[in-house]
Amino acid sequence: MQGRKWATGLAAALAALAGGGAALAAGSEIVIGDIDDLSGTYADAQGVGGIEAIKMAIADFGGTVLGKKIVLLTADHQNKPDVGASKFREWSDQSGLNMLIGGSNTGVNIAMAKVAAAKKVPLFVIGAGGASLTNEDCTAYTVHYVYDTTSLANGTASTIVKSGGKTWFYLTADYAFGSQLQNAASKVVEANGGKNLGSVRAPLASMDFSSFLLQAQGSGAAVLGLANAGADFSNSLKAANEFGITKTMKPAALLAFISDIHRLGLQTAQGLYLTTGWYWDLNDDTRAFAKRYFAKMQVEPTMDHAGAYSATLSYLTAVKAVGSADSDKVMAELKKMKINDMFAKGGYVRADGVMVHTMYVMQVKSPQESKYPWDYYKVVKQMAGEEAFGPITGACVLAPK
């Protein structure tokens, strides 16, 4: 009898210890992390501005949730998957991380999604576009919030094919994001009766794109699909103008941020079609956010900045609603609730992790059409979330067709 009592006592003590450990991990703070490209080619799409947007969201929420202070950790992943994943793991193990905002770069976010699944920490992907994050690489803790390669292709590629650009050649960034974007666009082009004539894969951060562009021109295609981003996108469009390629081919930006258009200038970028999840000048709500953001950063926010703000608010709202920062409870709430703020109206998180919301096909204004600073886009088409993000593909194990 005595021995049994001992055993029960020991078990109780162990349980108390384990419980104590969990309480320690939950901590007296809600810890939000942000791992992004803070210094490289994608740093202006989200980067430091993304951190500012997250801070704005935390402040707007009141700085606390469930009586706990909200703290923000930030790190630069330098576009290296191992750096992003190990930082995420470190924060989960040592800093009691509750949620991570994943910045640009699909490759890094695929690596971080694996950590999210292992550590059961929600990951809100903002700046990365690869649709594999909610297909083959999906996890129960991933939310893909702003845009993905599918919605970009459904917007830009279908608009251009329908307006007569039937034959396509792609200039593709040679990594996960570029090939996913090209594949998505190719499918949309074919589905709408167009033809894909070929592609050339340019290494990331190539010095000069003119060789690749001459190959594109040699294909005789009507449309030049730019399946790249950031400085690569700007440099290739600049060279296409310089070499007179835009006279025979219509360039299509499969991903462009307003920061890219700002750097290129309207003279070079005018007439370009692109798809975006958000634009600062859509309505009074977006303009109000943009005004506050501009006061801090002296540039208008990109869709990623608005998305980082909205994602932070959505997470905190879900935590408040369930009265707990328990990841499974929060994820269940996130997949139940509607997202209504200046970023999305009636947005919702699908079983595969896609945040379904309205996307916009835009055309870049000419210098004459632009009436005030940053007046860059006109809305060509407003796409309902279901049309933009398409049906559930079945490639994600959590979301059968």
Partner 1 sequence: MFGVPTTVILGQLMLGLVNGAFYALVSLGLAVIFGLMGVVNFAHGAFYTLGAFAALLGLQWFGVNYWGALVLAPLAVGILGVVSERLFLRHVYKLDPLYGLLLTFGLSLIVEGSLRELFGSSGRSYPVPDALQGAINMGFMILPIYRAWVILASLVICGGTWFLIERTRLGSTLRAATENAQLLQAFGVNVPLLFAATYGGGVALAALAGVLAAPVIVVSPLMGNSLVTVVFAVVVIGGMGSILGSVVSGLTLGVVEGFTKVIYPEASNIVVFVIMALVLILRPAGLFGKE
For residue 281, state whether it binds partner 1 (rule: CB under 8 A). no
- Beta strands of 158-222 (E only): which ranges? 167-173, 195-202
Type of residue found at 313:
L
Token code pair at residue 329: 């409870």
The residue count for binding partner 1 (CB under 8 A) is 39
CB-CB neighbours of 11 under 10 Å? 10
Q: Which of 129, 219, 233 is nearest to 173 (CA)?
A: 233
For residue 263, state whether it binds partner 1 (rule: CB under 8 A). yes
Cα–Cα distances in Å, from 392 out to 113, 127, 141, 387? 19, 21, 17, 11
Residues 208-227 binding partner 1 (CB under 8 A) are 208, 210-212, 214-215, 218
Span near partner 1 by CB under 8 A; candidates 59-67, 120-128, 196-204, 392-400: 196-204
For residue 202, state whether it binds partner 1 (rule: CB under 8 A). yes
Query: Is the CB of 262 or the CB of 381 nearer to partner 1?
Result: 262
For residue 41, state whether it binds partner 1 (rule: CB under 8 A). yes
Query: Is the CB of 42 or the CB of 360 nearer to partner 1?
Result: 42
Tally of residues, the chain: 401
For residue 367, state whether it binds partner 1 (rule: CB under 8 A). no
For residue 384, state whether it binds partner 1 (rule: CB under 8 A). no
For residue 337, state whether it binds partner 1 (rule: CB under 8 A). no
Least separation in angstroms between CB 176 and partner 1: 14
Least separation in angstroms between CB 280 and partner 1: 16
* Contacts for 164 with CB less than 8 Å, ≥ 6 apart: 222
**Residue 3, phi then psi, degrees to nearest 5:** -60, -40
DSSP state letter for 391: S
DSSP state letter for 204: T
For residue 235, state whether it binds partner 1 (rule: CB under 8 A). yes
CB neighbour burial string for 308-347, b if at least 16 within 10 angstroms, e if fewer: bbbbbbbbbbbbeebeebebeebbebbeeeebebbbbeeb
For residue 230, state whether it binds partner 1 (rule: CB under 8 A). yes
CB-CB contact of 207 with 262 (8 Å): no
For residue 264, state whether it binds partner 1 (rule: CB under 8 A). yes
Span near partner 1 by CB under 8 A; candidates 40-48, 113-121, 177-185, 373-381: 40-48
The three-class DSSP label of residue 312 is helix
Give contact residues for partner 1 (rule: CB under 8 A). Answer: 39-41, 43-45, 47, 174, 200-203, 205-208, 210-212, 214-215, 218, 230-231, 234-235, 238-239, 242-244, 259-260, 262-265, 268, 299
